[in-house]
Structures are given as structure tokens and as C-alpha cells.
Structure 1
Amino acid sequence: MTVTQGMNASSGGGILGRERTIAGPGFSRWMVPPAALAIHMCIGQAYAFSVFNLPMTKLIGITASAPDDWKLTELGWIFSIAIVFLGLSAAFLGRWVEENGPRKAMFVAACCFGGGFIVSYFGIKIHNLALIYLGYGVLGGIGLGIGYISPVSTLIKWFPDRPGMATGMAIMGFGGGALFASPLSVTLMSYFKTPTDIGVANTFLVMGIIYFCLMMVGVIIVRVPAVGWKPEGWVAPAAGARKLVTNENVSVHEAMKTPQFFLIWAVLCLNVTAGIGVLGQASAMIQEMFPGRVTAVTAAGFVGLLSLFNMGGRFVWSSISDYTGRRNIYAVYFLLGIALYAAVPTTGHIGSVTLFVVCYLIIMSMYGAGFATVPAYLKDMFGTMHVGAIHGRLLTAWSTAGVLGPVLVNYIRQYQIDNGVPKAEAYTVTMYIMAGLLVVGFICNYLVKEVNARHHHRAALAAE
């Protein structure tokens, strides 16, 4: 028995196996998006992790940082490690997710993500930062990666008529997870706070349990369609009827041999680099560009508004892509993004907070949309057979951007300030660089063509 056969055999056994999740007659496909949302709304907590940063610098000092407390620079690595392991786990375990089905994958994701909080709880208790790196960073990051890709191919199979809308519904949850995680974290820390304990450790423990339970709701609900199932009355368009949409399949290994994979990788990486770089500095940026006019409280509200548009854009733009086509909608993301990034410094020079906010709301909507649209883009190019695994490999672009974007924004800003540039003008060069990255992204997207027929599954098998 080959390794692949063994994995396939194991996927059929037990309540978590793929065979036990095949939908019976009468099952509504509209039950699957809520199952996916149950996973993505939980793992979307990662976007709110920053609420723990300042409290964790005062675990010993309580009211102020003590000499033995951790520094923000040390704590910043927790999120970075989690994002790196998100990309690595999605890349290396994507094929496993495809073969074992969404229920087993979601269960593993729940164990890893919830378990990451609990391991970190012990790390906080004994004041061991390495244990938190291992817990939330490594274990939680693996849960992020598996949880992120586990519903994707299932949704695409249930919604072949509207793949952009379907993946947008799920990935919208990841963008919106912070809206619930942030107040939950603050409330729990306040509840557990005592004169000798800032409340972070118990908050991690409770959140680990809560997220595990909520993710299990998705595990219980999710189903896969029976072989040959299709929506009632839907007929797949004939081959060639839709440009850049194939009815063929390309295996994950064969996809890695195509220029299309690497072009779309660059498209996602450049779109995310531009967005994630400024997302992490949004609060500081609006306060520094409009000193005395925007308070910290107002800036916090601005960040919350960005989260709403990040979430909404994932559904709205990706749904529109079902009508415009994926390459065309990415062209809009890049062209409009270039204009908006280039306009941001001007909004500061003329002192228009309103125009600044409008620019950033649209930018963030397209940042989120890039994540939501790419699974359908991959389905169009490579078919549905291994789309989850291919998506997993592609998410290494996110890991790359998660490091590249903040580094560009933070270090260029600091270089400007160190050389005497006022803080209000320290982001000008950065914004123009981000616009330049989007120009490169537009070119990469333009170069995407149909996959050569020799890479199609049947042709590749015949060649072997």
C-alpha cells in the first residue's frame, strides 16, 4: 500500500473521516458557510493579538514595566511566528487536508489553536516567553493554517456556480474575528485583574477553551457533497466558454511547475504587503499625520472601522468577481490601490482627515478582498481537485508579506524621522513605495494566462 493509499484509507474511518461527512439527501449547502465561519471567526482572533502586547509588558510590574518584564520587541515575535507557521502548515499540510476532509482538518485546527492558548497560559504563569512562542506562535500558528484552508475546497465544491461569493463568506469571518476578539480579551482581562495579577494568563486559558468549543460547532456541521453532486439546474459552462476558467484539473505538484502559480503568488504577496504594512501602523499614522486633531480614542475608532471594511470587502469584492472574472477584479484592486496609496500623502498635506479615512477604508476593503478572491482564482486556473492544497502552498505569500510589509513601513518611517523628517511627513516615501509594489502586482496579474494543457491531470498522467 502506498503512502497516499494509506492516508486515503485512514480518511474513511471514524467519525472524523471524509466518508462520514458526505451529505445525505436534502442537506442544504447553505449550512456549510456557517460551519466555515465558525472556524474563521475564531482564528481571526490573530488580528486582535496586539491587545495583549502592552499588558504583557507589565506582568511583573503590574502598573508599569519592571526590569524583568518582556519588551514589546520581544512580544512582537509571537504574532510573527504565528503567521509564519500559518503559511508553513498551510503549505505542507494542504494535501493532507484535501485527502482527510474538512471535519478532521477542522478538529485538528481546533485542538492546535485552542491548545496554543492553553500552552501560552502556562508560559505566562511561569514567565517563560519561549513557551508562549511555542504555544501561540508554533502550535497556534499551525491551527491558523489548517483552519484557514480547511473549508476552502469544500465551499468551492458546494458552490461551483458562485465560488467567489462562497469563499468570501468564509474568509470574511477571518477579517472580522478581531471585532469580537478585541472586546472579549479586554473584558476578560478586566474581570481577572487583581492587585497582584494583570489578568492575562487566565484570559488566555478561558479564550483557549471558548475558541475550541466554538470551532467544534463547525466540525459538527460541515459536510462534503457526494461525488457528482451539482446545484439543481446548474450546468457547467462548456470548455472555452469563460476565459481563464478551466473545467480541467491540475494536481498540486503539477501546479507548482506552472508560471501561473508563481504569478498569482506574487499577486497575493504584493497586495498583502502593501495592506498589512499600513494596517499595523494605522492608529499611529493617523495621529502623526494629523497631530492635535486626532486623539488616541478617535484613532482606535478608525482602526475598528478599518476592520469592518476589511471584513466587508472580503465578501463584496469577491462576490463581484463571480461576474467580472478574477483577473479583472485584481486589476481593479491594483489600479485603484495605486491611486489611493499615492493620494494618501496629499490628504495629509491638505489636512483632510475625511479624505485620508476614505482612502484607507477602500484600501482595506481591497486588502481583505485579495485574500477572499484568491481561492476562486486558483479554482479557475487549476480546477477543484487539489485547490485546497494549492491554496495552502500559495499562503506562503502571506507569510512573506507578513514580515516584509511591517518591516518596510516601520524601518522607512524610522529612517525618515532619524534624518529630521517631521512625523507628519514620515510616511510619504512609504506610501509611494507601496504604490510602486502595486504597479508590479498589476503587471504580474496581467501576465496570468490559461494553464497549458500539458499540466492538466490526464495529460500529466499520460506523460508519466
Structure 2
Amino acid sequence: MTTEPRSPGLLDRENIVARPGYNRWLVPPCALAIHLCIGMAYGFSVFWLPLSRAIGISDPVVCKDMTLIQALTSTSCDWRVSDLVWTYSIFFVVLGTAAALWGGWLERVGPRRAGVVAACCWCGGIALGALGVSLHQLWILWLGTGLLGGIGLGIGYITPVSTLIKWFPDRRGMATGMAIMGFGGGAMIGSPLADLLMRHFASASDVGVWQCFLVLALVYAVFMLAGAFGFRVPPEHWAPAGWEGPREERTAISRHNVHLRDAHKTPQFWLIWGVLLLNVSASIGIIGVASPMLQEVFGGRLIDKPATLFTAFSPADKIAAAAVGAGFVGIISLFNIGGRFLWATSSDRLGRQLTFGVMTAFGALLYGFVAPALIGGSIGLFILTFCICASMYGGGFSTVPAYLADLFGTRFVGAIHGRILTAWSTAGVLGPFIVTTIRDSRIAAGVPRDQVYQPIYWTLAALLVVAFILNLLIRPVDARFHMPEDAPPTASDAAAPAAARPQIAMRRDTGRIALLAWAAVCIPIAWGIYETAAKAAVLLK
């Protein structure tokens, strides 16, 4: 008995192979549509204060001695901010885990199916979180927004990156920089949008959070599904017209693939894992305390009261200084986003290893010598120092996928990248632990607030020195890990010699659809930049 072969379904990889003449510049806006949505994970702190008075509305209903376990199911006590922040922690722990677990599945099924699953998990998680807020059940918020949303984060993070690398083998850094820039910019758009929505839905009996969650879930679903259905994969053996293949002698790009099952057996995998861990740890903790750091280091100089120490601030002084601190955070976010594109794009010319060498060495210099020297000095130079550090923090994220493609080939780069992201999850715990532990211990010891941070800067500089050394040790993957030459290649696989790959010319005209797609993502980005710049303008007053 014979069965008819099944025709490809709407979500199957076979159904999204691009036809000759497809414009590859349609892929970046699809990637941005997904990353701009899931990037809101960075902006969820905008919900913590409203949720901490969801019952009391104007003032929190505080229940003394309430444990975290009791907070999970309590309907009569307002949640503490410390209870809510666990949602944020769950996000990024699950992100790394999900990316590692489902990276291989992504490579098999293709970006459309993976993008749809990411949209369902991320948006469904936010919608389930809305139910938890409405019922005032913290465990539902954790389970929905934290766990289910975190799975959507992990799958949604690696899907666009893997796809863009295959479409842009000639500009890998630029391609990954575009996508991951979107992830950094998600909060820049989502946070002010959430603030507008909460103020619109707020009433005398409701803080407006669950309604805001539902609107965001709907808006994000539209954008993410549009991005997922817009994805195409290149035809087999495709290469950009006129591209002659990677120049190994200049950029150390391998012409060979390494199988997913062998990648973690190579020293290169663990060296990059360590470099990413240390680079992220060195910045994520200090970015988390950026606003209080600026206020504590410069005190009354921020508000034209040079003789006033931070500990002597009046309530009005604290409000004014907090506004300056918020502007500092806004500028850092802009440099973080810009650095994701600029450093990754620069790596196309410099090479990935040199780019990481510059970032880690320069970062160690800024943390180890420049930042401590500027305490009590120029506020502008101090701010610029940490903005540059933030750009290299973002640049590390966006350059790593291209680094992996250079070393391991493009065939399993999405899955390998997913496993590398466990370094991010680890850094999300390690970096803040280092910074807060040193800060709290020095404050408890009675150290003046403006002198609290020097040991933190030196510690972070030491982390980057180690990262610099690890990066120097990276060499091309040993030939014994290369896949056999007769293994089935993937679309746009740069591992094959240029002469062996037919080069199908793709249209370079943007076209009406491309213009609409780029407008759909660029208009929200422009609005987010405007809102962030408006908040940061307080530093210029």
C-alpha cells in the first residue's frame, strides 16, 4: 500500500524557499518585527510600581511578614516589587534554556514555524499574565509571562538571527547587528507605550495593567506573525550576486560546517561562551544600578547644589536627581542599541576576533582607569565613559552570532547560538550579584557614597581582562570536527567554495512591499528614540 507524498504545509520550511528574484532586504524588517516585540522584556520594570498597588490603587496594601510563597496566591495583599522582579529573572533564565533546547528544532523546521511558535508563546504569555493580574494571582503571572513568555523570548531571539546570517553571508555582522539592535530597542518603544496605555486604562478602581497587557499582546501578535510569515529561506547553494566567498586570510571565516552535536566538544565553543559571559557580566550589573550610581557619585552637583551630599538630599532633591538619573539610563539605552549595530557592522571589516579584542581591552581601560579617575571630576566625561561601555555591551551580543558562523559555519549556527546564550542567563545572575554584593557591603561599612564604586569598577575591569585573554586563545576549529564534504549543504552555506555555488541574482529594488515593511518597523523605532531622547534631555539642562 502506497501513500501519497504530503504537500508542504503553510508553515513548513519547503514552502518558504525564496523564488528567483526575491529581494533579500525584505528579511531584515521581518526580523526586526519579532525582536522589537520580544525586546519589551527589558522594559517590564515599568509595570512593577503600578502592580505593587494593584489592590490599594493609591497606596499599597501591605501585609507584614508575608512570605514569597504566600504572595503567590494572596488576593488581599499587594505584591512587593521584590516579588514581581522574579518575573524578570524567569524571563532571561528561560530565554537561554529555551534557545539551547529548541535551537536544533529551529534549524529543521525553518524560521516561519519557529516565528509563529515564538509569537504564540510570547503573546500568549503576556495574555496569561493579564489573567494573573486580573485575578491577582502571582503564580499565574510567573507561569504565563515569565515561563511561557520566556520560551517565546528564547525561540524568538535566535530565529531572526539564524535566518539573517543565511541571507547575508557577505555581511554577517551587519545582519546580526540589525536584528539584535531591534531586541535592544524593544523596551525603548514598549515602555513609553505601556505607560500611555496604563494611564489610559487607569481608574479609581484599577491601575490599568491587565488591560495594557492584553493590548500589548494583541499588537505584538500582529507584528510577530507578520514577521514570521514574511520570512523566506534562500534556495540551496544560493549566494549573493558577485560575492566570491569568504576571505579566510583576512577575516578567519571557515569554509566548513561543524555539526551541532560536535560544537560543544570544541574549545572554541567554550572560549566564546566565556568571552560572552564575562563581557555581559561586566556591564549588566552596573547598568542595573546606573541611576543610583550617578546620584550617589555626584550628589548635589547634578541639581546645582554642589555642597549637598546624596545622603542629605531633601524629598524635592531626590525627585530632581532621579529625573537626571532617568535621563542617564535613557542615554545608556541609546548607546546600547546603537552599539549593537555599529560594532557588529565594524566586525565585517575588522574581523570578529579583533572586534572583541578592541571591545574587551577598551572596556577594561574605561572601567579600570577612566571611571575611577572621573569620580569627583567631569560629569559629562563620566556619562560618556559608561555610554561607551554600554555600546560594547550591546556590541558583544550582536557580534557573537557572526563569530559563531565564522567558526562553525552557517548550517547549525542558530542552534549553536542558542546554546551559547546560556552564558547570558548565567551573566544575568553573576553580574548583578558582583555589583550589588560589593556595593551593599561598602555601604554597610560606612564608606561615603561617592567612594563606594571604585572596587566595583576594578572588578569589572578584571573580568574584561580575562575575556580579552580568552578571545586571544580562539583559533580555527580543528579539521576533525568538520562535517564531511558530501553532507547535504544548507541554503546560503558559505562553507562551500564560491565556484561551486550558483549565484542567483536577486533584485535590488526595494519595491512597494519592502518600503511598507521597513516603514512598519522604522516608524515605531523613530518614536521610541524620540521618547528616550526627550527623557535624556534633562541631562543637558
- Classify the TM-score, shorter chain: over 0.9
Task: Judge conservation of contact 2:96–2:422 (CA < 8 Å) in 1.
Answer: yes
Task: Let me know the Cα RMSD of the aligned residues.
Answer: 1.5
Aligned to 1:93: 102
Aligned to 2:17: 22
Task: Judge conservation of contact 2:100–2:419 (CA < 8 Å) in 1.
Answer: yes
From 398, 406, 409, the counterpart of 2:435 = 409
Greater CA drift, 243-252 or 82-91? 243-252
From 372, 380, 386, the counterpart of 1:345 = 372
Aligned to 2:111: 102
Aligned to 1:327: 353
Aligned to 1:75: 84
Aligned to 2:234: 225
What is the CA-CA distance between 1:341 and the residue it aligns to? 1.1
From 43, 59, 63, the counterpart of 1:64 = 59
Q: What is the letter of the counterpart of residue 375 of structure 1?
A: P
Does 2:342 match 1:316?
yes
Same amino acid, percent of matched pairs: 52
Does 2:235 match 1:209?
no
Task: Judge conservation of contact 1:119–1:135 (CA < 8 Å) in 2.
Answer: yes
What is the CA-CA distance between 1:345 and the residue it aligns to? 2.4
Q: What is the letter of the counterpart of residue 296 of structure 2?
A: E
Flag the 1:218–1:311 CA change in 2: closer, same or farther, 3 A.
same
What is the CA-CA distance between 1:40 and the residue it aligns to? 0.5
Q: How many Å separate the matches in 2 of 1:62 and 1:434?
A: 41
What is the CA-CA distance between 1:147 and the residue it aligns to? 0.3
Q: How many Å separate the matches in 2 of 1:346 and 1:17?
A: 57
Task: Judge conservation of contact 1:178–1:307 (CA < 8 Å) in 2.
Answer: no
Aligned to 2:445: 419
Q: How many Å separate the matches in 2 of 1:196 and 1:290?
A: 41
Aligned to 1:379: 405
Task: Judge conservation of contact 2:251–2:352 (CA < 8 Å) in 1.
Answer: no
From 250, 269, 275, the counterpart of 2:277 = 269
Q: How many Å separate the matches in 1 of 2:331 and 2:175?
A: 24
1:110-162 Cα offsets, whole Å, 9 max, x none, are 00000111111111111111111111110000000000000122111111111
Task: Judge conservation of contact 2:54–2:78 (CA < 8 Å) in 1.
Answer: yes
Q: How many Å separate the matches in 1 of 2:475 and 2:251?
A: 9
Q: How many Å separate the matches in 2 of 1:244 and 1:460?
A: 23
Aligned to 1:197: 206
Does 2:192 match 1:180?
no
What is the CA-CA distance between 1:273 and the residue it aligns to? 0.7
Flag the 1:26–1:65 CA change in 2: closer, same or farther, 3 A.
same
Larger radius of gyration: 2
> Which segments of 5 or more consecutive residues in structure 2 lack a partner in the other structure?
63-76, 303-320, 488-541
Count of aligned pairs: 450
Q: How many Å separate the matches in 2 of 1:425 and 1:52?
A: 32
Task: Judge conservation of contact 2:360–2:465 (CA < 8 Å) in 1.
Answer: yes
Aligned to 1:298: 324
Task: Judge conservation of contact 1:345–1:425 (CA < 8 Å) in 2.
Answer: no
Task: Judge conservation of contact 2:276–2:397 (CA < 8 Å) in 1.
Answer: yes
1:243-301 Cα offsets, whole Å, 9 max, x none, are 53200000111111000000000000110111111111111111111112332112212
Q: What is the letter of the counterpart of residue 16 of structure 1?
A: L
What is the CA-CA distance between 1:235 and the residue it aligns to? 1.2
1:198-237 Cα offsets, whole Å, 9 max, x none, are 1111111111111111111101211100001111111114
Task: Judge conservation of contact 2:246–2:253 (CA < 8 Å) in 1.
Answer: no
Does 2:46 match 1:38?
no
Q: How many Å separate the matches in 1 of 2:251 and 2:297?
A: 44
Task: Judge conservation of contact 1:115–1:140 (CA < 8 Å) in 2.
Answer: yes
> Which segments of 5 or more consecutive residues in structure 1 lack a partner in the other structure?
1-8
From 261, 266, 269, the counterpart of 1:253 = 261
Match of 1:292, SS state, is helix
Q: How many Å separate the matches in 2 of 1:55 and 1:344?
A: 35
1:174-208 Cα offsets, whole Å, 9 max, x none, are 01111101100100110011011111111111111
Q: How many Å separate the matches in 1 of 2:301 and 2:203?
A: 35
Question: For residues 152-167 of structure 1, what are the structure 2 equivalents within 5 Å?
Answer: 152-167=161-176
Task: Judge conservation of contact 1:78–1:137 (CA < 8 Å) in 2.
Answer: yes
Q: How many Å separate the matches in 2 of 1:120 and 1:218?
A: 23
Q: How many Å separate the matches in 2 of 1:285 and 1:83?
A: 24
1:407-443 Cα offsets, whole Å, 9 max, x none, are 1112221111011012222222111111110011111
Task: Judge conservation of contact 2:97–2:422 (CA < 8 Å) in 1.
Answer: yes
Q: What is the letter of the counterpart of residue 414 of structure 2?
A: G
Does 2:46 match 1:51?
yes
Q: What is the letter of the counterpart of residue 192 of structure 1?
A: F
Q: What is the letter of the counterpart of residue 375 of structure 2?
A: G
Match of 2:225, SS state, is helix
From 440, 451, 455, the counterpart of 2:477 = 451
Greater CA drift, 443-452 or 299-308? 299-308
Q: How many Å separate the matches in 1 of 2:250 and 2:479?
A: 16
Flag the 1:367–1:460 CA change in 2: closer, same or farther, 3 A.
farther
Does 2:441 match 1:433?
no
Q: How many Å separate the matches in 2 of 1:64 and 1:292?
A: 30
Q: How many Å separate the matches in 2 of 1:95 and 1:57?
A: 40
Which structure 1 residue ranges, 4+ long, deviate > 4 Å from structure 2?
A: none
Query: TM-score, normalized by length of structure 2?
Result: 0.81
Q: What is the letter of the counterpart of residue 235 of structure 1?
A: E
What is the CA-CA distance between 1:459 and the residue it aligns to? 8.1
Query: TM-score, normalized by length of structure 1?
Result: 0.95
What is the CA-CA distance between 1:460 and the residue it aligns to? 12
Does 2:428 match 1:399?
no
Q: What is the letter of the counterpart of residue 41 of structure 1?
A: L
Greater CA drift, 361-370 or 338-347? 338-347
From 149, 163, 170, the counterpart of 1:140 = 149
Q: How many Å separate the matches in 1 of 2:483 and 2:80?
A: 51
